[in-house]
Amino acid sequence: MATKQTRALARTMMAPAVIVLFIWMIVPLVMTLWFSFQNYSLINPMMTGFAGWANYVYVIGDPSFTQALVNTLILVGGVLIITIVGGTFLALLLDQPIWGQGILRILVISPFFVMPPVAALIWKNGFMHPGYGMLGHLWKFFGLQPVDWFNQYPLFSVIVIVAWQWLPFATLILLTALQSLSEEQREAAEMDGANAANRFRYIILPHMARAITIVVLIQTIFLLGIFAEIRVTTGGGPGYASTNIAFLVFRTGILSNDIGAGSAGGVVAVIIANIVAIFLMRAVGKNLDA
């Protein structure tokens, strides 16, 4: 169908996008790899030369790395569980015949449009501040001691904020999937005497499996790189209690000006993301082909 000429044209038209993305992917990555084997500090210009594996030993050997890795997994896992379970519940609820569905959708989707630093600051000051936050008032109302969330439960507090931002996304996608389930199928199941639990287990859940997989994939991509929420609330602390891998690299490379060690951390972050991506792509690929 396509002649040689149109094929050549198609390649030309694709070229800018492919070339630009290729450069964007390869050049900085190679530089990160190069820096990670160098002694390179912006504070101490005398320190130069090949470092071997020293930067990696320094970054991975430091206890902060293990903690950041564990924090990253807890953060991603925690937010995924909250948003998938909560999103499924909300989608089922919004799919019921209720009054004001249009307005409800708008209310529920809104947190997704709130930029991360605003979301974090609203929660930090308006809600979680022990002195004048809403939760503090609520605790006092019930005669309880207000909780200093970011000092006592730093990672949990970050998870709450991030889950609040991503719950609308999961809900919206799952709701869209739910609404494409045919009415006949549901009614048939109902006529056959399937109760609500069985209808959910055998009809609705299998139908939503694909959408759930997609939500997991897309959220994981974004959640691995959570940064602003940590930057404006806890600053990674206390200690390293709420530092994830992304924030650790920023801390080492930019805040401490240790380019070599920061780059080594960056390479590790890329490797982790790739491991996750391979698993996810495989799982999603299976689900998408079906």
Looking at residues 24 to 53 of the shown chain, list those that interact with another protein (rule: CB under 8 A).
24-25, 27-29, 31-32, 35
Q: Which stretch binds another protein (CB under 8 A): 20-28, 59-67, 148-156, 194-202?
A: 20-28
Kindly state the smallest distance separating residue 131's Cβ from another protein, in Å: 7
Of 158, 167, 204, 216, the one binding another protein by CB under 8 A = 167
Q: Which stretch binds another protein (CB under 8 A): 45-53, 147-155, 197-205, 252-260?
A: 252-260
Told to check if 2 binds another protein by CB under 8 A, we report yes
Looking at residues 182 to 241 of the shown chain, list those that interact with another protein (rule: CB under 8 A).
183, 210-211, 214, 218, 221, 224-225, 227-228, 231-233
Integer Cα distance of 83 and 21 in angstroms: 31
Looking at residues 58 to 77 of the shown chain, list those that interact with another protein (rule: CB under 8 A).
none
Kindly state the smallest distance separating residue 137's Cβ from another protein, in Å: 5
Kindly state the smallest distance separating residue 207's Cβ from another protein, in Å: 12
Told to check if 250 binds another protein by CB under 8 A, we report yes
Task: Annotate 179-200 with b (16+ C-beta within 10 A) or e (fewer).
Answer: eeeeeeeeeebeeeebeeeebe
Kindly state the smallest distance separating residue 108's Cβ from another protein, in Å: 5
Told to check if 7 binds another protein by CB under 8 A, we report yes
Told to check if 6 binds another protein by CB under 8 A, we report yes
Of 59, 91, 173, 216, the one binding another protein by CB under 8 A = 173
**Count of residues that interact with another protein, criterion CB under 8 A:** 99
Told to check if 56 binds another protein by CB under 8 A, we report no
Looking at residues 78 to 137 of the shown chain, list those that interact with another protein (rule: CB under 8 A).
90, 93-94, 96-100, 104-119, 121-123, 125-127, 131-132, 134, 137
